[in-house]
Structure formats: structure tokens, C-alpha cells
Structure 1
Amino acid sequence: MGTGEEQHRRQMHDAELGAAVERAQQGDEDAFAVAYRMVQPGLLGYVRGLVGDDAEDVASDAWLEIARDLGRFRGDGAGFRGWTAMIARHRALDHLRKLKRRPRATLIEQDVLQLPGGHDTAASALERLSTQAALEIIGTLPREQAEAVLLRVVVGLDGPAVARVLGKRAGAVRTSAYRGLKRLAEQVSWGSGTGAVTKRARRTLSDEA
């Protein structure tokens, strides 16, 4: 699928998400459920990369905050994904502080490998890897690189949105994402992989180059 078609799909996905969020802000509970289903797979994968087996509980806490503060959100579908990722990151870091341990990059379990089609905006080297191999490779990346890759490839955020979530300069985030993706690419062949996450990672590396 060409870049133009991928961009169109991403735009359609974000338009649908934005419309659902707008209806949810007006009290439509079914619309909130739609927004949840569209965002949760990537969000859970990102949180799992930070807190491991505690991801379900942390993500649930994040969604409670998202639901509580939904009326304050201003933005479109892409903005909503960034906003929810920021909330989830804060909840994950709070959780880790309580446990007095550092975030770890242990993501991409099967739920992440089956992200909705709308996330087909990023691409990569994870395509040919099994879930366990992907976990092992991402676990070797420095944390800032791993987190940038997660937000770009799994959550599907663009560079500026990742920078806002991480509270860093866009240039620094771009460098971290590029280096992380390049290190992943060096460990696998780019030729024949077909996994969704790998495709997203490969395209993301091309975008970051």
C-alpha cells in the first residue's frame, strides 16, 4: 500500500475517532466506547512497554482520568491519541515511582501486533520477528529510544505529538526514534516481512530519515 493511501487511511481513522470523541463529550456513552476501542490497543501496548504485567491496571486508571477530564479536551482524533498517551504515561510513571523501579521497554505482545488498520502510519524491522524476539530486541534499546519507538509505531503519533508526550524537544525525539528504529533494522532483514508492526516501523524509519 502506497504512502498516499496510508495517509488517507490514517486521516479517515482520525476523523472517525475525532467524531466519536466529539459525540462522547456531548454525553453519548456509545461514542465513548467507540473511541475506547479505537485507542485502547495501542495505548495498552505503550503502557505495557513501561510497566509490564501491570499494564491493564495502569491503563484502567488512565481511562478513568480520561473519562473524568474528557470535557476539557480540545482537538481532533490525532490530538486525542496524543492526549490519552500523555495521561497514560503519567499514570505509568506514578505507578513506577510507587514501586521504585524504572520504566522498561518490554512491549509488543499479541494485542499490539493486531492494531487497528488506522495505525498503519508507521513502519519497520519488527515485521519478521516473533513476539518474543521483538520484546528482546526492544528491551536492548536505551529507554528514551524505546519509548519514542513505542509512541511512533504502536500508538501511531507523529513526531511533534511524541515530543509533547515526552516533554522533550521535537529534534531530540526525532533523533531518538531514528536511532532506535535504525538499531532494530540492523538486526533483521528488510526484505520479506509482512507483520503490521514491522511495516509501520519501516515506514517510520523512512519518515525519520
Structure 2
Amino acid sequence: MNKAAEHRRAEACDAELGTAVERAQAGDEDSFAIAYRIVQPGLLGFLRGLVGEDAEDVASDAWLEIARDLGRFRGDGAGFRGWTAVIARHRALDHLRRQKSRPRGSLIEQDLLEMPGIQDTAGEALESLATERALEVIATLPQDQAEAVLLRVVVGLDGPAAARVLGKRPGAVRTAAHRGLKRLAQRVTNTGARALGGSR
């Protein structure tokens, strides 16, 4: 999918999310369920990158807070995505403090592979193979790069929104995401070159 089509799809998704959030704030439970279905896959992937197998428990805590404070939220669909990521990150950091551990290796493969797509089956299969290779490396990235990549790619936040989630300047988050994606690209390129060399 080209960047323009991907951008239009993201805008349409955020427009749908914004409408669902607005209706949910007015008490429409079905609209809250729609907002949940749109946001949860990316949010769960982000949390798996931070807390590993405990992501679903942390996500449940985050959604309780999101539901409780929904009336206070002001913004559009993209803003809601960022707001939920901030809440989820705070719950993840609380969880890690309680566990007295560092973020564990990422288990986001399943979440990413289950995310809905509009490509054909063959395209999805090729994308899944590339995604699996990239996910193997995400777990090895420094924490700031891993979080930036997860927020930008998995959750779908733009630079300023990801910066707000992490409490950093947008430039620092863009740099961390760029470095992380560059490492991912280098690893995939190196793996491909070794595979080609080995098949001769």
C-alpha cells in the first residue's frame, strides 16, 4: 500500500474513532465497544513490548481508567489514541515498579499478525514474514528506541503524540524511532544478504 493510501486509511480510522468516542462520552456503550476494538490491538502490542506476558492484565487496568475518565477527554480520534497510550504506559510503569523488573522481551508478534488488514492474502503473507523478522529485532533495541518504534508503528501515533506519551521532545522521539527503524532495516538487509549468500 502506498503512503498516500495508508494516510487516507489512517485518517478514516481516526475519524471513525473520534465519532465513536464522542458517542461513548454521551453514554453509547456500543460506541465505546467500537473505540475499544479500534484502539486495543495497537495498545496491546505496545504493552507487550513493555511488560511481556502481563500485557493483557495491564491493558485491563488501563481500560478501567480510560472508561472512568472518558468524560474528561477532549480531542479527536488521533488524540484519543495518544491519550490511551499515555494511560497504558503509566499502568505499565506502575506494574514494572511493582514487579521490580525491567521491561521483558517483546511478545507482540501475535498482536501485530492479528491486526486487520486490507491487502490480499499473498500480500499479507509476505508482510507477515517481514513483520516476524522485524519483531525479532524490536526486543533487542534499547528501551527508548523500542518504545518509539512501538508507538509510531504499532500504535500509529505521529511524532508529537508519541513524544507526549513518553514525556520527551518530539525530536528525541523521532530520532529514537529513526535509529530503531534503521537498526531493523539493517538487520533485515543483513539477514537477506546472508540468505542469498548461503543459497549460492
Structure 2: stretches of 5+ with no match in the other structure? 119-126, 193-200
Max Rg structure: 2
Q: Partner amino acid for 1:185?
A: A
Cα displacement (A) at 1:94 = 0.1
Indicate if the aligned counterparts of 1:104 and 1:143 stay in contact, CA closer than 8 A: no
Percent of paired sites with the same residue: 74
- Offset of residue 115 of structure 1: 2.1
The answer to whether residue 63 in structure 2 is matched with residue 63 in structure 1 is yes
* TM alignment of 1:132-171, pairs within 5 A: 133-171=133-171
- Give the match for residue 90 of structure 2: 90
SS at structure 1 position matched to 2:61? helix
Residues 12-21 or 109-118, more deviating? 109-118
Task: Verify the 8 A CA contact 2:134 2:184 in the aligned structure 1.
Answer: no
**Structure 1 gaps, min length 5:** 119-125, 193-209
Distance in 1 (alpha carbons) for counterparts of 2:49 and 2:31: 28
Give the Cα–Cα distance (whole angstroms) in 1 for the partners of residues 117 and 152 of structure 2: 15
Q: Secondary structure at the match of 1:106?
A: coil
- Structure 1 residues 111, 34: CA separation in 2 closer, same or farther (over 3 Å shift)? same
Kept in 2, the 8 Å contact 1:49–1:107? The answer is yes
Aligned equivalents of 2:135 and 2:3: distance in 1? 27
User: TM-score if structure 2 supplies the norm length?
Assistant: 0.86
CA 1:50–1:138: 2 relative to 1, 3 Å: same
User: 3-state SS of the aligned residue for 1:149?
Assistant: helix
- For residues 129-185 of structure 1, the C-alpha deviation after alignment (integer angstroms, 9 at most, x for no partner) is 464x44431121101000100000100000000000000011111100000000000
Higher share in helix: 2
Taking structure 1 as the reference length, what is the TM-score of the superposition?
0.82
Distance of aligned partners of 1:189 and 1:114 in 2 relative to their CA distance in 1, 3 Å threshold: farther
> What is the root-mean-square deviation in Å for CA atoms of aligned residues?
2.0
More deviation, 4-13/80-89: 4-13
The number of equivalent residue pairs is: 183
Distance 1:62 1:79 in 2: 16
List per-residue Cα deviations over 1:181-203 (Å, max 9, x = no partner).
0000001149x9xxxxxxxxxxx
